[in-house]
């Protein structure tokens, strides 16, 4: 069977664009926009070509790689065009353009390559390009501190990746994904070295996707321009999940890596989800949301639900790009979901339990109907539980009974459930087959999301209660996890400020102390 890796045009186009940008000092934005447009058109054409050829000839398509390559091309085109307007009049635009195109080139290499060494090098290159984008306003002390924290986390992750590559090569004799998967399909059991390699790959993804307690750099990158936030949250931070999907055959045989992903991911999803609801700044709230969603994605991968993780990756990328590039419009919607909103709930906990019951009935009924017409459809119970709890808030009517609102909530749940099942069927054909996992992992995840839902309900019913008043300061401060990590990192490797930054900091400290300037 012939292999079709149709995404290879995208890294070539972005690499050529970056080289031309370095050779020319004028018309930089025009060249960047042309590069992004050419990348989108070429990748879209290759995707259509792959779909046609797959119907006419025996063709094996790299479906995950081509899907994410198309996503990268689309996001790159949107963000580059948005940046050309957003940064109009700013100094150092040439530096920004080159760093942006370089980063997009590195990401495109990462998603299209099937060699682990190339993937790791591209992942490192993505981190380097992002460092320049995060420090676009290099005179800002906060931007330098955040970039320093991310630098340390990324280098630690790359040490884990380097060791994992050595272990894979020692055991398999190749760093090709195809060679690794062929070895795993014929191996009677997983060697100890590959168990450790899988765990190290999982740890690197945990570090690079800003899981608690090493999440602070992701929350504090708001010193960078908005297009950088959109690129980071919609694209780059998702790459950890994509690489783990690439390594699905290895992870499915490594229980230790699965446990690490599920436990860390679920805890991050729960805690970050609660913290997000306490924040006022819309961009900070979106950053905490990204942290929670990355935890959710890693949890799905740990559970062996690779098709759901790929769906989550694509949906989250599109949503976050739109959310950051139109953050002002999201303020009104976000304020209605505050953890301790001024208008206290007039409902009792029984009402919220009834909402869960009705949501569960609608989700289960829809799934049963789909399975009647499509018997091959299989949706894991843990996924149905998460969908049920996620859609139940659509029935949270804070005022007295209103039949119109109830009907609208029911229709919304039905519509979103059909959309979820539709995308589930579509992405099941793109991602690796689901893996079997231990029952305690599934039980842990179910308990985590029940606790998350129950905590939100209790806080809404008793917003001024003893628990709420004790819990809110801790949640608002992110449970002080980042402060502990920051103190530790600065002791190990202090950040070095430029002379301008040090002078600015000294002036601010003198002003705070009432000393003459």
Q: How far apart are CA 157 and CA 229, in angstroms?
A: 21
Write the DSSP assignment of 173-195 as a string of letters.
S--BHHHHHHHHHH-SS--HHHH
User: Would you state the pLDDT for residue 216?
Assistant: 77
pLDDT at 422 over 70: yes
Of 217-221, 341-345, 437-441, 511-515, minimum mean pLDDT range: 511-515
> What pLDDT digit, counting tens, does each position of 234-266 carry?
888 899 999 999 999 999 999 999 999 999 999
Share of the chain above pLDDT 90, in %: 38
Strands (DSSP E) contained in 30-169 are 59-61
Q: How far apart are CA 276 and CA 334, in angstroms?
A: 10
User: What average pLDDT does this structure show over 305-316?
Assistant: 89
User: Would you state the pLDDT for residue 205?
Assistant: 95
CA 88 from centroid of its chain's CA atoms = 29
User: What average pLDDT does this structure show over 423-452?
Assistant: 86
- Supply 250's token pair: 């290895």
User: Would you state the pLDDT for residue 118?
Assistant: 95
Check whether the bond before 146 is cis (ω within 30° of 0).
no
pLDDT at 341 over 80: no
User: What average pLDDT does this structure show over 315-324?
Assistant: 85
> What pLDDT digit, counting tens, does each position of 151-162 carry?
888 889 999 999
Which range has the top average pLDDT, 7-21, 224-238, 419-433? Answer: 7-21
> What pLDDT digit, counting tens, does each position of 471-501 carry?
888 888 888 887 887 787 777 777 776 555 5
pLDDT at 333 over 80: no
pLDDT-based confidence at residue 509 (cuts at 50, 70, 90): very low
- Supply 469's token pair: 């008043």
Q: How far apart are CA 373 and CA 290, in angstroms?
A: 36
User: Would you state the pLDDT for residue 327?
Assistant: 60
Asked if residue 452 lies in contact with residue 270, where contact means CB atoms within 8 angstroms, the answer is yes
Q: Which residue has the higher pLDDT, 91 or 300?
A: 300
Asked if residue 243 lies in contact with residue 180, where contact means CB atoms within 8 angstroms, the answer is no
| φ, ψ (nearest 5 deg) of residue 37 | -65, -45
- Please report how many Cα atoms fall inside a 13 Å half-sphere around the Cα of residue 212, on the Cβ side: 26
Residue 115 CB: number of other CB atoms within 10 A?
15
| pLDDT averaged over every residue in the chain | 84
| φ, ψ (nearest 5 deg) of residue 115 | -120, 125
CA 456 from centroid of its chain's CA atoms = 23
What letter would DSSP give residue 115? B
Beta pairing partners, 115? 176
Asked if residue 13 lies in contact with residue 40, where contact means CB atoms within 8 angstroms, the answer is no
> What pLDDT digit, counting tens, does each position of 168-226 carry?
999 999 999 999 999 998 887 889 999 999 999 999 999 999 888 888 788 776 667 88
- Tell me if residue 4 falls in helix, strand or coil: strand
Q: Which residue has the higher pLDDT, 140 or 384?
A: 384
> In angstroms, what CA-CA distances link 381 with 88, 258, 439, 445?
50, 18, 12, 11
Q: How far apart are CA 343 and CA 320, in angstroms?
A: 28
pLDDT-based confidence at residue 16 (cuts at 50, 70, 90): very high
Name the helix (H) or strand (E) containing 159.
helix 141-172
User: What average pLDDT does this structure show over 32-45?
Assistant: 94
- Tell me if residue 223 falls in helix, strand or coil: helix
pLDDT at 298 over 60: yes
pLDDT at 340 over 50: no
User: Would you state the pLDDT for residue 508?
Assistant: 43
Asked if residue 14 lies in contact with residue 108, where contact means CB atoms within 8 angstroms, the answer is yes
Q: Which residue has the higher pLDDT, 97 or 436?
A: 97
> What pLDDT digit, counting tens, does each position of 43-96 carry?
999 888 888 876 776 677 788 888 999 999 999 999 999 999 888 888 888 889
User: Would you state the pLDDT for residue 431?
Assistant: 83
- Tell me if residue 415 falls in helix, strand or coil: helix
User: What average pLDDT does this structure show over 119-145?
Assistant: 84
pLDDT-based confidence at residue 423 (cuts at 50, 70, 90): confident
pLDDT-based confidence at residue 35 (cuts at 50, 70, 90): very high
pLDDT at 36 over 80: yes
User: Would you state the pLDDT for residue 402?
Assistant: 65
What letter would DSSP give residue 342? S
Q: How far apart are CA 100 and CA 143, in angstroms?
A: 17
pLDDT at 404 over 50: yes
Q: How far apart are CA 128 and CA 114, in angstroms?
A: 21
Which range has the top average pLDDT, 83-92, 251-260, 350-359, 384-393? Answer: 251-260
User: Would you state the pLDDT for residue 382?
Assistant: 85
Q: Sign of the CA dihedral 430, 431, 436, 439?
A: negative
């Amino acid at each position: 069977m012939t292999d079709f890796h149709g995404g290879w045009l995208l890294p070539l186009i972005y690499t050529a664009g970056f080289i031309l940008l370095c050779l020319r000092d004028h018309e930089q934005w025009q060249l960047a926009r042309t590069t992004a447009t050419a990348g989108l058109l070429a990748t879209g054409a290759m995707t259509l070509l792959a779909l046609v050829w797959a119907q006419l000839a025996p063709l094996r398509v790299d479906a995950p790689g081509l899907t994410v390559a198309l996503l990268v091309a689309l996001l790159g085109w949107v963000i580059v065009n948005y940046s050309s307007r957003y940064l109009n009049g700013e100094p150092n635009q040439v530096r920004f353009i080159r760093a942006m195109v370089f980063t997009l080139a590195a990401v495109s290499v990462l998603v299209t390559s099937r060699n682990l060494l190339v993937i790791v090098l591209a992942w490192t290159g993505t981190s380097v390009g992002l460092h320049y984008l995060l420090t676009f306003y290099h005179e800002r002390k906060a931007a330098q501190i955040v970039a320093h924290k991310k630098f340390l986390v990324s280098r630690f992750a790359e040490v884990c990746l380097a060791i994992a590559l050595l272990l894979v090569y020692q055991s398999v004799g190749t760093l090709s994904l195809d060679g690794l998967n062929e070895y795993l399909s014929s191996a009677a059991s997983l060697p100890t070295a590959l168990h450790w390699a899988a765990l190290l790959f999982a740890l690197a993804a945990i570090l690079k996707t800003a899981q608690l307690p090493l999440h602070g750099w992701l929350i504090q990158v708001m010193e960078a321009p908005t297009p950088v936030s959109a690129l980071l949250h919609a694209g780059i931070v998702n790459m950890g999940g994509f690489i783990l999907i690439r390594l699905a055959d290895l992870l499915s045989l490594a229980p230790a890596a699965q446990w690490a992903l599920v436990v860390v991911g679920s805890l991050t999803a729960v805690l970050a989800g609660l913290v997000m609801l306490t924040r006022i700044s819309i961009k900070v709230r979106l950053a905490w949301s990204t942290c929670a969603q990355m935890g959710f994605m890693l949890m799905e991968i740990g559970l062996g639900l690779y098709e759901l993780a790929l769906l989550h990756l694509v949906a989250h990328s599109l949503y976050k790009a739109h959310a950051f590039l139109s953050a002002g419009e999201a303020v009104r919607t976000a304020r209605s979901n505050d953890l301790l909103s001024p208008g206290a709930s007039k409902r009792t906990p029984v009402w919220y339990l009834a909402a869960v019951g009705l949501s569960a009935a609608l989700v289960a009924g829809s799934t049963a109907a789909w399975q009647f017409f499509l018997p091959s459809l299989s949706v894991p119970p843990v996924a149905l539980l998460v969908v049920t709890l996620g859609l139940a808030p659509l029935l949270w009517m804070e005022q007295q009974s209103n039949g119109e609102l109830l009907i609208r909530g029911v229709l919304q749940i039905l519509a979103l459930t059909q959309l979820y099942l539709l995308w589930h069927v579509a992405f099941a054909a793109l991602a690796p087959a689901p893996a079997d996992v231990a029952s305690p992992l599934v039980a842990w995840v179910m308990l985590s999301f029940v606790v998350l839902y129950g905590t939100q309900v209790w806080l809404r019913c008793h917003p001024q209660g003893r628990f709420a008043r004790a819990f809110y300061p801790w949640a608002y401060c992110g449970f002080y996890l980042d402060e502990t990590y920051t103190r530790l990192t600065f002791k190990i490797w202090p950040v070095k400020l430029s002379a301008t930054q040090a002078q600015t900091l000294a002036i601010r400290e003198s002003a705070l102390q009432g000393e003459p300037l």
